[in-house]
Every structure is written in C-alpha cells, then in structure tokens.
Amino acid sequence: MIKVNKPINLEQLDKELNGKGLIATVADDKTTVLEVGLASENDATELELAEAIKAHKALFVEPTIEDKLAVVGLSIDDLKTALGLGGN
C-alpha cells in the first residue's frame, strides 16, 4: 500500500493505471483515501502505481438531480407526477 496525501478518485486512478483494480484504505469519513494498493488480479508494479499516483489529478463529478433520484428509484417524470405537475 502506498500512502497518499492528496485527493484520489480511485475509479479514475484505476483507469489511468490499467483498469485492473485497486484497493484503498479510507478515513472515517469514507471518502478520503489514505492508502492505495494493487488488487490481487492487478499485474502492475508498485513503481507503476506510485508513478500513476504522482501524475493523478482527481476529478470529482457532482451527481445530477437525475442521478440522485435514480438512487431511490425515481425519474424526473415520477417526481413531477408526485408533485402534481404532470409527467413529460
């Protein structure tokens, strides 16, 4: 495991490395990555991972309203209907 001291988007970093899986230790807030390692099926080296971390600039995309509604199984039309605004 490699300790990190900058924001890490684990999914993004995995794609930047080789897309074969990473593991991480996270802080109590469940979002701050403290350490990154290679998943058991990942054939990258620790040096390659360290270089990828060094080059990594984390991008975080805020979920859209549609994304947030989808988490609870709703669409925009469902919400409009529930609010009495009609669908479509």
Residues 13-40 pLDDT 10s: 999 999 999 999 999 998 899 999 999 9
- Select from 59, 64, 39, 63 the least CA-distant residue to 49: 39
User: First and final CA of the chain: distance in angstroms?
Assistant: 50
Look up tokens 């099926």; give the residue: 41
pLDDT at position 21 is 98
pLDDT at position 27 is 95
Judge whether 30 and 61 are in contact, CB under 8 Å: no
φ, ψ (nearest 5 deg) of residue 36: -130, 140
Confidence of residue 88 (pLDDT cuts 50, 70, 90): low
pLDDT at position 6 is 97
Segment 28-73, tens digit of pLDDT: 998 899 999 999 999 999 999 999 999 999 999 888 999 889 989 9
pLDDT at position 63 is 86
Q: How far apart are CA 75 and CA 48, in angstroms?
A: 42
| Res. 87: pLDDT tops 70 | no
Q: How far apart are CA 70 and CA 23, in angstroms?
A: 27
